[in-house]
Structure 1
Amino acid sequence: MENLTDLADRYGSDKGSAKHRYTELYHMLFHPYRQRKITFLEMGLLIGGPEHGVDKDRKTGDLPSIRMWLEYFPKARIHGLDVSDFSWFEDERFTFHRCDMDSRDEIARAAADIPAPDIVIDDASHASHHQQNAFLEIFPRLKSGGLYVIEDLRWQPDTYEVEGITKTAALLRSYIDERAFTHSDPEVAARFNALRPQISACIVHPVRYQKKRKDQVAVIHKR
């Protein structure tokens, strides 16, 4: 049985050995779920979207990570969320949700159509407020014992990033260091702090396992 990195490389996902190597961490975290009937959600389904200045209505032609997840989790229901259209992809275990993460209301509506997930990966625009909007709406819906992952904490796109906003990496670091979330917007800080009783662990892992690199992947465990 192929491990997750092998599958990523075969399907052309940038999560594999050619670029980020996230799958080395994910295989360790997700392997206990592999043969379970879980609900899995990934946000952000193909590189090269509006975060890189491309129109959200771009033509899309592949779903490398979704193909990877469908094979890795043979009993899972896989849900994908993106601002671009991937409704053309058909698989009996895959459901697509189109959503603009600028809007918490849109995220809430999409999340309401998804059963409580066991695993969530945010690989969407990487804009700080998008990551934070998604977490506030979706983490409370995560199953107890579930995992919420945020990728690419060290990169935010100029097309979306809001000037002066607390970066998600710094927000999570404040929780790790002080067990309380600190944010430039007191209302956002209050909403995150209201979720503290639901968090049992938060780990921020450096890219490629090199400590000299900036924070890259966050994994938050739900109580």
Structure 2
Amino acid sequence: MSTLSSGPNLTDLADKYGSDKGSGKHRYTELYHMLFSPFRNRKITFLEMGLLIGGPEHGKDADRQTTDLPSIRMWLDYFTKARIVGLDVSDFSWFEHDRFDFVRCDMDDRANINEAIGRIGAPDIVIDDASHASHHQQNAFLEIFPLLPSGGLYIIEDLRWQPPPYEKAGITKTAALFQSWLHQRTFEHSDPTVAEQFNALAPDISGCFVFQAGYKKARRDQVAVIHKR
């Protein structure tokens, strides 16, 4: 067996720990296992934003009691040498592991994201599984993507759902934003300033792929993968 793919299958780990990224729901791990295999035995920094379902995007208080970290446990098992960093508006500082760091952050505030990423340092792989509000996803991308090294991966999950408590009326959805770049090689946004900021990053994008829910073309856009040039 190749050393790139040795070790547990990512979908098996997701199912073991109860992550919704596995076979029971989104099936993201089928894609991620292919993308991440070359990284799994390397000393990288892996950042996941949004660590447990049921936060303010579902009407809960940000200071809710948190009890588990399914995907973080999965990543720690999958990546043998990686530093795993979790970022969330709720508190997960109780979880201790020698390769895990936690930073609390409000995705509504770009200055707060900038401060958080300054503490984390440049990540090699990013997964945005936070609130799923369009402007939160876009805030994070604008602050974090420029810091990725060449060959880095930036992934945005759950594009087809936006939380009513957070979503701004009239804002361009993140899926539509990246589809505009895919089809026209320019980012189109209802806010010209946001469009300008995204277009300034376009030369750093070597590839962008948008996958539909369940990997079925007839369904709505669900996950975006952006590769840093």
TM-score exceeds 0.5? yes
Residue in 1 aligned with 2:215? Answer: 209
Of 107, 113, 130, 1:107 maps to 113
Q: Distance in 2 between matches of 1:26 and 1:207?
A: 15
Q: How does 1:52-131 map to 2 (within 5 A)?
A: 52-131=58-137
Q: Distance in 2 between matches of 1:145 and 1:126?
A: 25
* Paired amino acid for 1:2: P
SS of residue in 1 equivalent to 2:107: coil
- Segments of structure 1 that go 5 or more residues without pairing to the other structure are none
SS of residue in 1 equivalent to 2:120: coil
RMSD of the TM alignment (CA)?
0.5
What are the Cα deviations for residues 29-79 of structure 1, in whole angstroms up to 9, with x where unaligned? 001101111100000000000000000000000000000000100100000
Of 42, 45, 48, 1:42 maps to 48
Residue in 2 aligned with 1:163? Answer: 169
Q: How does 1:170-189 map to 2 (within 5 A)?
A: 170-189=176-195
Q: Distance in 1 between matches of 2:20 and 2:46?
A: 19
| TM-score normalised by L of structure 2 | 0.97
Residue in 2 aligned with 1:23? Answer: 29
Deviates most, 141-150 or 205-214: 205-214
* Paired amino acid for 1:66: I
Q: CA deviation at 1:2?
A: 1.4
What are the Cα deviations for residues 153-196 of structure 1, in whole angstroms up to 9, with x where unaligned? 00000010000000000000000001000000000000000001
- Segments of structure 2 that go 5 or more residues without pairing to the other structure are 1-6
Q: CA deviation at 1:115?
A: 2.3
Q: Distance in 1 between matches of 2:122 and 2:88?
A: 18
Q: CA deviation at 1:143?
A: 1.2
What are the Cα deviations for residues 88-141 of structure 1, in whole angstroms up to 9, with x where unaligned? 000010000000000000000000111211100000000000000000000001
Q: Distance in 2 between matches of 1:161 and 1:115?
A: 28
Q: Distance in 2 between matches of 1:169 and 1:137?
A: 18
Moved over 2 A (4+): none
* Paired amino acid for 2:215: Y
Q: CA deviation at 1:207?
A: 1.7
Q: How does 1:184-195 map to 2 (within 5 A)?
A: 184-195=190-201
Q: Distance in 2 between matches of 1:92 and 1:33?
A: 19
* Paired amino acid for 1:122: D
Q: Distance in 1 between matches of 2:149 and 2:18?
A: 30
Number of residue equivalences: 223
**Does 1:144 find its partner at 2:150?**
yes
